[in-house]
Each structure stands twice: as C-alpha cells, then as structure tokens.
C-alpha cells in the first residue's frame, strides 16, 4: 500500500456539497448509522448563529472529494472544536487528514482560539468524544498534540414497554409539585432556572427541545418556580436522543428525575423509537435502575491548548 503524500486542493464547502460529503461519511463512519439529513444538521445547522461559526473544509484530489473536516469556533470564549472529519479509506495514511487539521488549526490560531476540543460541539454533537475504535482518528489527534482528558459513555434504553408515572405524579402533586410539559410561555421561568444552576449550554439544549411539536421538554414546578427539568430530541432526533436533565439541589430526593426521565422516554416511544440513546451520561446507576439502560458506547475526549497554557 502506498503511503506517499497525496497532492490535494483544500477548500471550504457548503450544503451544496452535502451529497458527496454523505457518500464519503457513510462509508467512513462504520460504527454509526445516520441519514443525509442528520449529517446536514451536524455540519451546517448552526444552533447559535452569531455566537458560533461553522466551517467545513474539504480536500480534493484530481477533482474528487478525498476528505473533509468540520471546524466550529466560539470567538467570545476563544474556544474551537474539530467536528466530524473523514478521509476516503483508499486514501488514508497519505497526509489528507493531517493537511486538513493543519489548515483548521492555523485558522483557529489566526482567530485567537485558545483551546480546541474534538467532536463535543455544544448543542450539536454527533459524538460527545471520539470512539476509540476509530483508531486512525485517535492516532491523528494524539500525533498533533491533542491530550485525552476524560472519558464518557452513552447508554441505550429499551422502549419496548411504556414507563408509568401516574402514581409518582399524584404523590408529587399532593406535595405541591406540578409536573407538566413545557410551553412557549415558560421562557422567562426557564431563563431564571438555568441562570441559577445549569448554565447557558443546557439552556440552549432546552430551547432546541422546545422546537419540537409537541415540545420535548418536561418540567417540575413548585410555587410557580421550575425546580427540575428533562428534555429530549434537541438534536440527533432520528436516534431518539434523551437529555439533558437536572434538578435543583434543594429538590433532590423527591423522585423528580425518575418521573421526568420516564415522561421523555414515553414521548420517544410514542414517536416510534424502539430505543433511546442517553448520551454523555454521569449517573449510570440512576438510568439503569429507573429505565433499565445499558452502557452501549464509550468515548474518549481530547483537547489541545493553542495558547501554550
């Protein structure tokens, strides 16, 4: 097999190139199944226009697409992300991915980006990190100075049975806690809730979940104040994505998480999903106990400092 460098022309591409990007990606991402529409969401549908900037770089050899790499920046935070990237199988180990990565990092440096992470793009990630079975990608990142700093897992929930919440919801109602689906008029309540505890990243995901019909966001309220939430279908809808979910410290121990989780899983089941993916999980035991979830995938998170710190 030849390993001589491949002469490539590097350029930016947009959604007009989606079909050829998908043809390459669907062969390269052998551990994933996804539609062309989902790839378009990941590469081109920026959920924070004016805050983050999306670019897709392409490498062409003899006029044909040899590889691509997505780059996302948040200039206000001096943060960048290497998004999805792939090289044609027959052209690997010929410098294509390396050339794309060098181009992206040069642009990041020119933009004043201080830290780069791989794949975990806020509000629009295909993977929360790198599946180490994509070993060539792992080697590329490590060779270019990226450091593995954390692991995370995805769980899968079996939706063959519905999840009951009636008794729990009645118990909570008797204790003065209302559990319901969010509505558009809840915007100010959600702003205050996320500002108090969970931050802008989860506020964004809650807003994205609200764009579904019906809204994919469920709330627990006490005294007209949000004390817990859970969401689904903020992204990757064809996979039945659940999350995020959180409860204020003062309200923990009431069983709110169990109820809100199950309400979301019931939504996904009603939408026709047979399974739900619960990504980037912290409390694995919680999800296993209350919904029978199993670990289905492991990811390694990588980052690179560009400012020398």
- Whether a cis peptide bond, with omega within 30° of 0, leads into 53 is no
Residue 132 DSSP label: T
Residue range 240-260: average pLDDT? 96
Inter-axis angle of helices 36-44 and 18-28, to 10 degrees? 110
> Mean of the per-residue pLDDT values for the chain?
96
Which helix (H) or strand (E) segment holds residue 296: the answer is: strand 294-305
Is the pLDDT at 44 greater than 80? The verdict is: yes
pLDDT digits (tens, 9 = 90+) for 198-224: 999 899 999 999 999 999 999 999 999
Domains and CATH numbers, the chain: 9-145 (3.40.630.30), 156-298 (3.40.630.30)
pLDDT at position 233 is: 97
Categorize the per-residue pLDDT at 19 as very low, low, confident or very high, splitting at 50, 70 and 90. very high
Residue 175 DSSP label: T
CB 53 within 8 A of CB 11: no
Q: DSSP labels for 58-126?
A: EEEETTEEEEEEEEEEEGGGTEEEEEEEEE-GGGTTSSHHHHHHHHHHHHHHHTT--EEEES--TT--S
pLDDT digits (tens, 9 = 90+) for 1-13: 457 889 899 999 9
Is the pLDDT at 236 greater than 70? The verdict is: yes
């Amino acid at each position: 097999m030849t390993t001589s460098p491949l002469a490539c022309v590097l350029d930016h591409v947009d959604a007009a190139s989606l079909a050829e990007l998908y043809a390459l990606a669907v062969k390269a991402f052998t551990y994933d199944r996804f539609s062309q529409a989902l790839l378009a969401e990941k590469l081109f549908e920026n959920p924070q226009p004016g805050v983050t900037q999306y670019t897709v770089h392409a490498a062409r050899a003899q006029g044909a697409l040899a590889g691509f790499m997505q780059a996302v920046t948040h200039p206000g935070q001096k943060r960048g992300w290497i998004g999805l990237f792939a090289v044609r199988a027959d052209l690997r180990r010929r410098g294509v991915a390396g050339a794309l990565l060098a181009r992206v990092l040069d642009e990041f440096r020119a933009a004043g980006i201080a830290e780069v992470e791989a794949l975990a793009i806020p509000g629009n990630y295909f993977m929360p990190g790198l599946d180490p079975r994509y070993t060539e990608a792992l080697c590329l990142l490590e060779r270019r100075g990226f450091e593995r700093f954390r692991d995370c897992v995805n769980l899968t929930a079996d939706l063959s049975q519905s999840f009951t919440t009636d008794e729990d919801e009645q118990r909570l109602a008797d204790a003065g806690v209302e559990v319901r689906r969010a509505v558009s008029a809840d915007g100010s309540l959600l702003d205050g809730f996320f500002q108090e505890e969970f931050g802008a990243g989860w506020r964004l995901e809650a807003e994205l979940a609200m764009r579904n019909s019906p809204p994919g966001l469920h709330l627990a309220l006490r005294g007209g104040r949000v004390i817990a939430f859970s969401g689904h279908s903020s992204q990757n809808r064809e996979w039945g994505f659940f999350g995020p979910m959180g409860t204020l410290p003062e309200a923990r121990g009431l069983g709110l998480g169990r109820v809100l989780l199950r309400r979301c899983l019931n939504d996904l089941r009603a939408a026709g999903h047979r399974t739900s993916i619960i990504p980037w999980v912290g409390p694995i035991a919680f999800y296993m106990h209350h919904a029978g979830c199993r670990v289905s995938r492991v990811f390694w998170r990588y980052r690179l400092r560009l400012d020398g710190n």
